[in-house]
Every structure is written in structure tokens, then in C-alpha cells.
Chain A
């Protein structure tokens, strides 16, 4: 059932022209950024070669690219999560799911994995571009895989938070603005906090991604992302359940 709902979510996404438009624009941005960084790397490579412990192509090209994707996702995910529940409410199609033989868990997880699958597809271009460099040079696989894992976990946390905001309202635009405000707010608070042990660092998903981005695999970060996503998924389920109770 979760798979069926996820498939429906994907099919609806791909049935809309705007999805294809965003896909195309993003591929363009990713590629343009990648080629630019690559060119910059090629220009400074002779100087780098003289250093003792010089950073490789992975560090100079892949790491900033992943960082840029993470930032873009922060802006982008609310545009997609806003539809998940708010739009179903507005179109009155939610009654179809509520009166079907499904539990709320199925509904929430189906939507979550549906959108996650789409976003994974959206960023597949990035590792493909980076691995195209493997034709001519040696890459740091560990760093790339760590970044990919971090990006996946980060996306999970964004989607679950966006879906929760979407479940609070029947207006997709409000859901988008709300989710964007929370995500950007967490990011800014994290960036502005000076103290090393500030709570803002602890609760900001992007801060936890920085470790993955730098090639540091900390199980604490993984646990943070899993907990963050789980909390918001559970809150969404609760919110939909309350809908039945409070109308």
C-alpha cells in the first residue's frame, strides 16, 4: 500500500509540466556549477601540484557541489512538500484516502517515500557528473559516498518537516512559506550562533550535514537525522489523526 501511494505521488508529479520545468532548470544549474568549479580547479591545478598535501579534485569540485545542492534543496523541498497534504485537503481528495482501507501510517509513509524517490531522482545527475571525472583521474569514493548519504538523510529531514507543515493547513502556499521559513530560520540561527556548543548548531539539519560534507562520518549525525525525520513523520500522523477527531 505504501508503494502504491508513493507511485501515485510520483505519477502526479510527473503529470505536471512544472515538475519537468524544475527538473530541467536544476540540471542546468548543477551542470553549470560543476563545470565552473571544474574549470577553476583546472586553472589552479599547476599551483596545487606543488603543495605537499594538496587537495584533490574530489575536495575542490565535489564537496562545494554537494554543499550547493544541500542549500538548493532547502529552498526547493518546500515547493514540493506543500502539495503533499495541503493540496489534497484543498481539492477535497483527502477523503478518498481517509475512506480507503488504509491506516494513517500508510498515507504518511507513502507520501514521504514518493517525494523522496522523486528528489533522489532529481539529484542523481550530481554523482553521475562527478563520477564522469573517474575517466581521467582518481576519485575519493569514501568522501563522495559520505556526501551522498548525508544528502539523502538531509533530504529525509527536509521532506518530513515540510510534510508536517503541509499537514497543518489547507493552503499549499502557506505550507510552502511556512516550511521555507522554518528551514531558512534553522539555517540562519545556526550560522549566526557563535558559541560552539549552541543549541542552534544541534538542531540545524544543515549543520549536521557539514560533517558529512567534510568527509566526517559521525554516527551522532545519522541518529540526529533519523530522529528528526521520525519526529516530524509521527507528528504528521498525529495531526491527520486529530483531523478526524476535531474535524
Chain B
């Protein structure tokens, strides 16, 4: 049990924050373990950035408690922040400095001793693909490179907790893939919490998802589980030489079949009996020329929309029509 507690790198309890009369964050509690990537998901204005600002000490909560590696952020901020790396929505850069100068400064700011700086700098630059631009002035770099410098400053001191606010915004697809790989690698050793409204990001890098809406966490689960939130049993089948529809409907186990085009059908069935093998053997016998068979899978997108839509009971098909 004690082992478990030491594994928790970040814990926030009952955070509340108001701006004027407006309650922006309402009773948010989070926990993050070592080696875990947590995705904070939500619409614009759901309170993701405010939550992250509180977790990093840039904003004080009105009530609640935050601990980083067991140290209270509110009572011992300087000790707690030493275990923290933060990339805000806009990367915090001194545009007039060169990449090397800037990273050197941030490393020393986080208390890295001068003899170790060269190594740390080289490692961070290697991780973020910045080797070629070390001597360039940050202001002259493209947005993608500036974002990488932002990520580099957040990980340079090897912190236990890394907080990334929309880390892949403004990057091109190849860079997005690189950054995601990097986050995944970081997540194996450190704890990463990232906010995004890109569901594919959550699918590809996060172990766990917290969905935020109007300042509350309304759903929390592993991203695997989230996808199975609404179980859909069925597949899409393409037959180049299809038989009449009623013949297909007659196959045991098929509960509903819907033609999507002349040769493409959506087949729904009960979860317990899958008519896939029957269909396969029939297709072979009668020469239906099966071309494609893809299992239907609820994408995170469907699930997300369902969870965050006001009437959670309405299936997405109906609500979109």
C-alpha cells in the first residue's frame, strides 16, 4: 500500500476556482501515477487550461489541495515545483534568445548544476529534434519549432510530473506524430498530463481519460474502456456479387442488415453470437465474392459526443439528425 502511495506523483483534491461570480472549476479531483499519461479532454472553455494553471502553481485555487510527489504545492511551492515541467498553451519563450541560451537558462532555473547542463541540454534537444537549430534565435523559428522548444523546456530537468497544455497545436502531421511518440516515451518513466480536444491524440497516447465539462470532471476511465463505453456489435461487409437482401437477412444471428450501397452492407448482430463465420462460408459456397469485412467500432469521438452531450441517453445517430 505504501508503495502505491509513493507511486502517486500528482494528486489534486476538491479544487475550486471562481473568476468573479463565475465558478469555473467545480470540485475537481485528479490523481496521477508514475508511468501514466492522462488525457484531459473537453470542449473549449471547459476549464482544462485553468485546471492546468492551478496544477502548476500559476493560479491559486479558491479551495482544495494539490500535492506533487507528496509535497503540497500551496504550502511549499518552491519544493513542489522542482518536480514539475509545464508547457502552457502558448509556449513561454524569450524570443530574442537563441535556443541554446534559452534552454540553458531554463535548466538553471530548475536548479540543474552547471557541470550537468551540457548533457541535459544535448538530451533535451535530441528528444525534441532541436539539434540543428541550437544557435538560431527563437523568434526566427517556425511555430512548430517554437512548440518543440516549449516542450524541451518542460522536460529538460527530468521532472516527475509533466503538464502539457495542447502540446500538438500548430504542428504539421509529421511533427505531431513525433511529439506523440515523445510523449508516449516520457509517459513510461514520468507522469504526463495533457489537455487536448483532439480525440485521436487521446487514442494514440493516453492511458487514461478524464472528460471535463463546465468545470467538472464528468467521466473518467481508461481510454480502452472508454471506447467500449457503448458496445456495438457488427461489421461492414463488401460483396462484389451480392445475393438479394432477404437472403442475407435470413442468415442466423444477423439482427439487422442495412445496405449502404449496391455491394456494401452494415450488419448488426447480438454480441453473443457472431454470424461472421456463417457468412464467410456461405459467401464462398455461392460465389458472392467477399471483398472486405471490417468490424464496427465505436470511435472515441462517438463516445465523447455521447458523454458530453446534454442528453446522454440520446444515441448519436438520432441527435445528429
Contacts and interface: CB of A to CB of B under 8 A. Distances in A.
Interface residues of B, number: 33
A99 B96 contact: no
Nearest to A92: B90
B299 interface: no
Nearest to A241: B60
Contacts of A16: 96
Contacts of B109: 1, 4-5, 96-97, 100-102
B81 interface: yes
A244 interface: yes
B58 A98 contact: yes
Contact of A93 (B93, B111, B137): B93
B320 to A, nearest CB: 36
B79 A15 contact: no
Contacts of B81: 99-102
Interface string A1-40: 1001100100110011000000000000000000000000
Contact of A99 (B60, B86, B95): B86
Interface in A83-116: 91-103
Interface in A170-205: none
B94 A101 contact: no
Contact of B58 (A91, A95, A103): A95
Interface string B1-43: 0000000000000000001000000000000000000000000
Interface string B79-99: 101101010111111111100
Contacts of B97: 11-12, 15
A244 B110 CA distance: 20
Given A15-B97, A92-B90, A99 B106 contact: no
A245 interface: yes
Question: Interface residue tally of chain A, by bracket?
Answer: 20 to 34
A244 B59 contact: yes
A62 to B, nearest CB: 36
Contacts of B111: 101
B105 interface: yes
Contacts of A97: 109
Contacts of B56: 95, 98-99
A55 B108 CA distance: 53
Given A12-B96, A98-B58, A103 B88 contact: no
Contacts of A92: 88-92
Contact of B95 (A11, A91, A95): A91
A15 B96 contact: yes
B13 to A, nearest CB: 19
Contacts of A136: none
Interface string B95-118: 111000100011011110000000
B223 interface: no
B105 A99 contact: no
A247 interface: yes
Contacts of B89: 92
A96 B87 CA distance: 8
Given A101-B81, A247-B19, A8 B92 contact: no
B153 to A, nearest CB: 7
B56 to A, nearest CB: 4
B78 interface: yes
A5 B77 CA distance: 18
Contacts of A5: 109
B96 A96 contact: no
B144 interface: no
A100 B107 CA distance: 10
B19 A99 contact: no
Contact of A12 (B94, B106, B110): B94
Nearest to B88: A95
B58 A99 contact: yes
B57 interface: yes
A1 B89 CA distance: 26
Contacts of B57: 98-99, 244
Given A12-B96, A15-B96, A244-B58, A99 B84 contact: yes
12 contacts: A11-B101, A12-B94, A12-B96, A92-B89, A96-B109, A98-B56, A98-B58, A100-B81, A100-B106, A100-B110, A101-B111, A102-B109
The 7 closest A-B pairs by CB, nearest first: A96-B92, A92-B90, A15-B96, A99-B86, A93-B92, A99-B56, A101-B81
Given A11-B97, A244-B57, A245-B60, 6 more contacts: A15-B137, A93-B94, A95-B56, A99-B56, A100-B81, A244-B59
Interface of B: 19, 53, 56-60, 77-79, 81-82, 84, 86, 88-97, 101, 105-106, 108-111, 137, 153
